[in-house]
Structure 1
Amino acid sequence: MANRVLIVDDAAFMRMMIKDILSKNGFDVVGEAENGQVAVEKYAELTPDLVTMDITMPEKDGIQALKEIKAHNPNATVIMCSAMGQQAMVIDAIQAGAKDFIVKPFQADRVLEAINKALG
């Protein structure tokens, strides 16, 4: 069975890029969210195997959403996405339970490497 993924990013273009990479490599993108609040709701509804989570988003940032998802399911697998220069936030995210992080702009091989490693 294909791994089910929830993609979270406030930029539709970034969601489309990740979705394209994952779909071409056998992953099942079960949902998308444009902010952390929607991400928490969709996680509870869809129970995906993996979440790709942008850090900087309106309404609720990725780190807060990560903490809420981890409170709901301590075993949740979340990979953070960040632009260059957000190292401090990446450290916060790893401490909050993120499995890995990928840097924008996305490179397909790095995205897949991070996801395959996180899913074990």
Structure 2
Amino acid sequence: MARILIVDDAAFMRMQLKNIFTKLGHEVIGEAENGQQAAQLYEELKPDVVSMDITMPEMNGVEATKEIKSMDANATIIMCSAMGQQQMVLDAIKAGASDFIVKPFTEDRVKETIERLL
């Protein structure tokens, strides 16, 4: 079981991911709606896994990934992107993201990704 921090500016997406992670037996220990909050919560909560949206206000997912990786080089971050964001996904992987899933999420894809990383 992993302790997960969900980061997405859309409450609906956070809820959808929370439902999937919970159903898979993981514990969602925090939610953030932008990259700045994500970095602060990461430091406070020390989650096992972060699901990180790419496009967010204030600080995007790529910047937040760099920030979190500078605090913890071993952080496990799964980028969540919409179709057509390949370049940002590549930037995120370069910044230290462990993997990515494309929206809309399927439970199987989320399960496969998290099992591979844990």
Q: Secondary structure at the match of 2:58?
A: coil
Deviations 1:41-89 (A, max 9, x none): 0000000000000000000000000000000000000000000000000
1:65 is the counterpart of 2:60: no
How many residues are matched?
118
Kindly state the Cα deviation for residue 17 of structure 1 after the two structures are TM-superposed. Answer: 0.4
Deviation at 1:107, TM superposition (A): 0.7
**Distance in 2 (alpha carbons) for counterparts of 1:52 and 1:14:** 11
Runs of 4 or more consecutive aligned structure 1 residues displaced over 6 Å after TM superposition: none
Amino-acid identity (%): 65
Task: Give the whole-Å Cα distance in 2 for the aligned partners of 1:48 and 1:76.
Answer: 8
> 2:81 aligns to what?
82
Q: Quote the residue 2:96 is aligned against.
A: 97
Aligned to 2:15: 16
Structure 2 CA distance, aligned partners of 1:91 and 1:36?
A: 18
Letter in 2 for 1:59: E
Q: Return 5+ residue gaps in structure 2 as ranges.
A: none
Residue 93 of structure 1 aligns with an amino acid whose one-letter code is A
CA distance in 2: counterparts of 1:116 and 1:58, whole angstroms: 30
1:44-55 to 2 correspondences below 5 Å: 44-55=43-54
- In 1, distance between residues paired with 2:60 and 2:115? 25
Q: Give, in whole Å, the separation in 2 of the partners of 1:118 and 1:35.
A: 23
> What is the TM-score normalised by the length of structure 1?
0.97
Give the CA deviation at 1:118. 1.5
* Gap runs ≥5 in structure 1: none
Instruction: Name the TM-score, length of structure 2 as normaliser.
Output: 0.98
